[in-house]
Chains A and B, each alone.
Chain A
Amino acid sequence: MTKVVLLFWIFIKATCTSFAGLGSLPEIRHELVDQQHWATDEQIDQTIVITRTTPGPVGAWIVAVGYMVDGWPGAVAGWLAMAAPSLIVILLVGYFGKRAQHPRIRGMLQSVVLASATLLVLAAIPIGRDALVGPLTIGIAVIALPLLIAKRVDTIWIVAGAAVVSFTGALLGVVA
Chain B
Amino acid sequence: MTEEPDIVTPTLPEVAGVFTRYANLTWGGGSATIAVLRKQIVDNRRWLRESEFDLAYALSRLTPGTNLLAFCTAAGWTRRRTLGAIVALLASSIPCSLLVLIVTVFYGELHGSSWFQAALRGALAAAVAIMLSTAWVFAEPHVEAAPWKAVVIAPLTVGLALGLGLSPVEILLLSAVIGLAWPTPRPR
Contact = CB atoms under 8 A, between A and B. Distances in A.
A155 B36 contact: yes
Contacts, number: 386
Given A79-B93, A108-B176, A108-B179, A140 B138 contact: no
A53 B103 contact: yes
A47 B72 CA distance: 24
B95 interface: yes
Contacts of B82: 90
Contacts of B123: 159, 162-163, 166
A56 B99 contact: yes
Size bracket, chain B contacts: 35 or more
A119 B157 contact: yes
Interface in A1-27: 15-21, 23
Contact of B61 (A86, A112, A121, A130): A112
Contacts of A113: 54, 57-58, 138-139, 142
A70 B67 CA distance: 26
Interface string B45-72: 0000001101111111111111111111
26 contacts: A15-B66, A19-B62, A19-B169, A50-B104, A59-B30, A59-B68, A60-B99, A64-B104, A89-B56, A89-B77, A97-B78, A107-B181, A108-B179, A114-B175, A116-B138, A117-B134, A119-B168, A123-B31, A127-B124, A133-B121, A136-B122, A138-B125, A145-B133, A158-B126, A170-B115, A176-B118
Interface of B: 23-33, 35-36, 39, 51-52, 54-74, 77-78, 82, 85, 89-90, 92-97, 99-101, 103-105, 107, 110-111, 114-115, 118-139, 142-143, 145-146, 149-150, 153-154, 156-158, 161-162, 167-169, 171-172, 175-176, 178-186
